[in-house]
Chains A and B, each alone.
Chain A
Amino acid sequence: MANKIPRVPVREQDPKVRAANFDEVCYGYNMEEASLEATRCLGCKKPRCVEACPVSVRIPDFIRCIVEGDIAAAAKTIAQDSLLPSVCGRVCPQETQCEGACILGVKGEPVAIGKLERFVGDWGREHRLTLAEPAPRNGHKVAVIGSGPAGLACAADLAKLGYEVTVFEVLHRPGGVLQYGIPEFRLPKKEVVEPEVENVRRLGVKIETDVVVGRTLTIDQLMDEEGFEAVFIGSGAGLPRFMGIPGENLNGVVSANEFLTRTNLMHAYDQQYDTPIYTGDRVVVVGGGNVAMDAVRTARRLGAESSIVYRRSEAELPARREEVHHAKEEGIDFRMLTNPVEVLGDERGWVTGVRCVRMELGEPDASGRRSPVEIPGSEFDMPCDVVIMALGTSPNPLIAATTPGLEVNRRGCLEASPDGATTREGVFAGGDAVTGAATVILAMGAGRKAAAAIDNYIQSKA
């Protein structure tokens, strides 16, 4: 029986070594390992894994191709549903999606769907597999705002349908969070992100960086002066939240976005680059999501003793399980059920520590989660030089504020129908800008749905 084989372990960099470098942690499967792991899949008739994947990747089908040794066919199978297998294979929260539902997981270990997807994606790139050709132009122009997964996916699908697409990106490098947020050691930029962006360019998509929509150009100008018939907004959710506690503006308190942007986008960890970064000797990161894990592991790599402070318990950590596991291996100190109440500083205004209280889990709230409550009198101080706030982000209000007729909800997210139509005719949106901070695969899926809706919209007018 195929399922008697244990899940094939994946080779990883030694934790002691990797805690001091920015090279990728996980090496991924080679052909042999992938073939063996692929044989574990039962090829279910009603595959639960597919139902649990937000874009319904044909999982048993692509895995069968691996078993048969036809990796190109596997790549083509995945490509029907996902445009970024090398990325999603690395960053999807598989344990709550595809792998979380795999039938093998009921009694043992689920099939390593993510690792297999990554293997196929990487193989395709290394073998220069072309999955789509530029289509003949259909004479219609569409503008895409933001070059994150939502924008790239939308642009790629439209280009395949023959649209002339221009992506406008405010930063100097395309990729959105894949470029500025998720660190090199989890998602290599030169090897993975840049080739994915290049693939989109190869379809004829133009990417114009250094353009702030809402300031350099408005959506009205794009439509009225530059001849774009429809616009897709994939501007993400980049606005960082702070706690509003005393001492938060001391020198040494930064948002995770700032810390990660300095290291990833600006390469501050590399002395060849000009952008500075400050970690001191001890860093405390507040939060428990992927962003917090990325920040704390980055701080560790920059040489600081690093801790996570999170107000719920370990079971509630929203980060991918693999990241929590890797962080622990790298020597990150986890302080669960702990909440900062004040950042402490010296007379010069620099951080010296964080005052925290201990929490306990109270009654379940409306969402069914047990909400943490403070234990009175449990204050204690954690000495540190840097505090990184990783408390979540919300959409940047700039585009909504400069586009008449575009409505947002009370969380600042753009109002949009399931296919991405906003309250403004011809303007579509998707990804984090609509949902608030979510995942790469959801953003990509939303971009693709909107591309189909934009095609419908333009064809119905023509």
Chain B
Amino acid sequence: MFQILKKTQLAPAIYLMEVEAPRVAHAAQPGQFLIVIVDEKGERIPLTICDYDAGKGTVTIVIQAIGASTMRIAALEEGDRFADFVGPLGHPSEFIHYSPEKLASTKFLFVAGGLGAAPVYPQVKWLAEHGVRSDVIIGAKNESLVLLEDEFRALTPNVHIATDDGSKGYKGLVTNLLKELVAVQGRRFDLVVAIGPMIMMKFVALTTKELDIPTIVSLNTLMVDGTGMCGACRVTVGGKTRFACVEGPEFDAHQVDFDEAMRRQGMYRTIEERKRAIEAERAAGHKCNIGL
């Protein structure tokens, strides 16, 4: 079980993996995530379900190596297995419950920042399969980090690219491109779904609040169990404490306390940095002398 059948590199330090997980593949829906454990000593790492194929019994994940655990996952090769792979977790995206009329009349705009392309992809795909062509903004630092562009273009003609340095598409932030689509090009959107780094989601939420467009974000909080048992994932939405893993991960962007959410994400930062330094030492073949 949980064998990696395919691994491809999408960008520097970003990999796509197709994993054998029939039960997860059978139940997965857009908007949901899963938790993986790399080996016996690994931590529980939440990852978005980027794609799923119930027939083949496989689930696709996209992983960015940013810390000790994600680096170890990224180092796995085809044929290797995850110790654990549990899901799907969280609620599916709300639009899958829309009536056919509402689906047909809603104009969707997805804003995918960096790795956010992974969770956005199954949503755009589901909508395409239901006859809806959404707009997608893919935002990235530079051209090499623009993810899944061809995959999105196969689903909808309305794919817009924004890079910070202008190496591809629009030069500037996704929020500016969003404003331009609405204010300059006069496009109408009924729902914005923004997924990416917390800071990007915060600014998209501010922008769409000004433009008065309802907006959904998917919150990548810290998590341990992912089942509602620990409260590590708690966020404040509309003044109330909510558990992102079971009540989310998608919430009304205009109600989320992003500053608190960003602060809480950094709870283990210093510990993680030390851990990373130790890993790096180990990788370099030194004896660990950092002192625990």
Residue in A closest to B38 when the chains form the complex, CB atoms: A274
A251-B267, A254-B232, A257-B230 known; A212 vs B69 contact (CB < 8 Å): no
Chain A interface main SS type: loop
A276 within 8 A of partner (CB): yes
Interface pair B23/A216, CB less than 8 Å apart = yes
Give the residue among A209, A252, A275 with the most B Cβ atoms within 10 A. A275
Q: Which residues of chain B have C-beta atoms less than 8 A from A172's C-beta?
A: 37, 44, 83-84, 86
Q: Does B133 contact A (CB under 8 A)?
A: no
> Which of A251, A266, A267, A271 is in CB contact (< 8 Å) with B224?
A266
The reply on A322 being an interface residue by CB < 8 A is no
Q: How far is the CA of A24 from the CA of B44 in the complex (A)?
A: 26
A262: which B residues are within 8 A, CB to CB? Answer: 224
CB pair B266 A240 closer than 8 Å: no
* Residues in A whose Cβ lies below 8 Å from that of B27: 215-217
- Give chain B interface residues in 239-292, CB to chain A under 8 Å: 241, 246, 260, 263-264, 266-268, 271-272, 275, 292
Q: Digit string of A224-242 for contact with B (CB within 8 Å is 1, else 0)? A: 0000000000000011101
**Max chain B CB contacts within 10 Å: which of A216, A242, A255?**
A216
**Cα distance, A254 to B88, chains bound together (Å):** 25
CA distance A252 to B271 in the complex (A): 13
Does B197 lie at the interface of the complex (its beta carbon under 8 Å from any beta carbon of A)? no
How does the 8 Å CB contact mask read for A171-185 relative to B, with 1 for contact and 0 for none?
A: 110000000100000
- Measured in the bound complex, the distance between the Cα atoms of B231 and A240 in whole Å is 7
B44 touching A266, Cβ below 8 Å: yes
- What distance in Å separates the Cβ of B19 from its nearest Cβ neighbour in chain A? 13
The secondary-structure label for the interface of chain B is mixed
In the assembled complex, which residues on chain B have CB atoms less than 8 Å from the CB atom of A244?
A: 241
Within 8 A of B (CB), among A197-231: 209-212, 215-217
B268 touches A274 (CB 8 A): no
Instruction: Report the minimal beta-carbon distance from B250 to chain A, rounded to whole angstroms.
Output: 15
Give min CB distance, B192 to chain A, whole Å. 26
**Are B231's CB and A274's CB within 8 A?**
no
Interface flags, B30-45, vs A, CB<8A=1, else 0? 0010000100011110
Whether A249 contacts B42 by the Cβ 8 Å rule is no
- Residues A212 and B227 in contact, CB atoms below 8 Å apart: yes
Nearest B residue to A218 via CB reads B27
Which residues of chain B from 10 to 58 have a CB within 8 Å of any chain A CB?
23-24, 27, 32, 37, 41-44
Residues of A within 8 A of B72 (CB): 274
Residues 325-358 of A contacting B (Cβ, < 8 Å) = 348-349
**A238 and B87: CB pair below 8 A?**
no
Within B195-244, the residues touching A (CB, 8 Å) are: 224-225, 227-232, 234, 236, 241
Q: How far is the CB of A450 from chain B (nearest CB, A)?
A: 23
Nearest chain B CB to A286's CB is how many angstroms away? 14
Binary contact track A92-131/B, C-beta < 8 Å → 1, others 0: 0000000000000000000000000000000000000000
Interface string of A280-293 (1 = CB under 8 A from B): 00000000000000
- How many Å lie between the Cα of A278 and that of B85 in the bound state? 26
The CA of A215 and the CA of B215, in the complex, are separated in Å by 25
Complex CA gap A299/B259 in Å reads 29
Q: How far is the CA of A217 from the CA of B246 in the complex (A)?
A: 16
Residues of chain A within 8 A (CB-CB) of B246 are 396, 398
CA distance in complex: A325, B40 (Å)? 35
Instruction: Look across to chain B and name the residue whose beta carbon is closest to the beta carbon of A270.
Output: B41
Q: Residue A276 contacts which of B85, B225, B271 (CB distance < 8 angstroms)? A: B271
**Which residues of chain B have C-beta atoms less than 8 A from A396's C-beta?**
227-229, 246
How many Å lie between the Cα of A212 and that of B241 in the bound state?
A: 23
Q: Collect the chain B residues with CB atoms within 8 Å of residue A215's CB.
A: 27, 32, 87-89
Complex: A211 Cα to B34 Cα, angstroms: 11
Instruction: Say yes or no: is A258 at the interface (Cβ < 8 Å to chain B).
Output: yes
B68 within 8 A of A: yes
Cα distance A242–B233 in the bound complex, in angstroms = 13
**Does chain B have a CB within 8 A of A170?**
yes
CB <8 Å contact, A274 and B42: yes
Given contacts A216-B23, A249-B236, whether A210 and B231 have CB atoms under 8 Å apart is no
Find B272's partner among A211, A276, A348 (CB 8 Å cutoff): A276
Partner of A171, one of B68, B225, B271: B225
- CB pair B228–A239 under 8 Å, yes or no, is yes
CA distance A271 to B274 in the complex (A): 12
Residues of B within 8 A of A170 (CB): 86, 225, 227
Q: B24 contacts which of A216, A252, A278 (Cβ < 8 Å)?
A: A216
Contact partner, B86, options A212, A255, A258, Cβ 8 Å: A212
> Across the interface, do A274 and B69 meet the contact criterion of CB distance under 8 Å?
yes
Query: How far does the Cβ of B46 sit from chain A's closest Cβ, in whole Å?
Result: 13
Quick check: B229 and A278 within 8 Å, CB to CB? Answer: no
Which of B37, B69, B230, B272 has most A Cβ within 10 Å? B230
Q: Which residues of A contact B232 (CB under 8 A)?
A: 254, 258
Q: Is A261 interfacial (CB-CB < 8 Å)? A: yes
Task: Tell me whether A240 and B271 are in contact in the complex, defined as CB-CB below 8 angstroms, given that A211-B86, A266-B44 are known contacts.
Answer: no
A216 to B52, CA, bound (A): 13
Chain A residues in 8 Å Cβ range of B88? 215-216
| Cα-based distance from A396 to B37 in the complex (angstroms) | 23
- Output the least CB separation between B256 and chain A (Å): 13
CB distance from A326 to the nearest CB of B (A): 25
Specify which chain B residues have a CB less than 8 angstroms from the CB of A349 in the assembled complex. Answer: 260, 263
> Nearest Cβ distance between residue A162 and chain B, in whole angstroms?
27
Which residues of chain B are within 8 angstroms of A254 by Cβ–Cβ distance? 230-232
CA of A273 to CA of B40, assembled, Å: 8
| Contact partners of A367 in chain B: CB under 8 A | none
Tell me whether A240 and B42 are in contact (CB under 8 A): no
**Is A248 located at the chain interface by the 8 A CB criterion?**
yes
Specify the chain A residue showing the minimal Cβ separation from B292. A271
Q: Which of B42, B43, B224, B241 contacts A258 (CB 8 A)?
A: B224
- Interchain CB contact under 8 A, B23 and A238: no
Whether, in the assembled complex, A272 has its beta carbon less than 8 Å from a beta carbon of chain B, the answer is yes
The 3 residue pairs across chains A and B that have the minimum distance between CB atoms: A258-B230, A210-B86, A238-B229
Q: Can you name 19 A-B residue pairings with CB atoms under 8 Å?
A: A210-B86, A212-B86, A216-B23, A217-B23, A217-B27, A238-B228, A240-B230, A249-B234, A251-B266, A257-B231, A258-B232, A266-B224, A274-B43, A274-B275, A277-B271, A349-B260, A396-B227, A398-B227, A398-B246
Q: Which residues of A contact B (CB under 8 A)?
A: 170-172, 180, 209-212, 215-217, 238-240, 242, 244, 248-249, 251-252, 254-255, 257-258, 261-262, 266-267, 271-278, 348-349, 396, 398
Q: Chain B: residues with CB nearer than 8 A to chain A?
A: 23-24, 27, 32, 37, 41-44, 68-69, 72, 83-89, 224-225, 227-232, 234, 236, 241, 246, 260, 263-264, 266-268, 271-272, 275, 292
